[in-house]
Amino acid sequence: MAKHIMMDIAKILKECIESYGMRKVGMTVLNSVMMLM
């Protein structure tokens, strides 16, 4: 269940990141999220 929520968050983050064109920032955020899990 938590995994499904994380997938939704990752999808939203990806869309926001692509719209801003900040892939490096996005990767940093995703890596931070992975560290928390």
Is the pLDDT score of 22 beyond 70? Answer: no
Residue 10 CB partners (closer than 8 Å, separation 6+): 30, 33
Confidence of residue 12 (pLDDT cuts 50, 70, 90): confident
- Domain ranges across the chain: 1-36
pTM value > 0.85:
no
Mean pLDDT of 11-31: 76
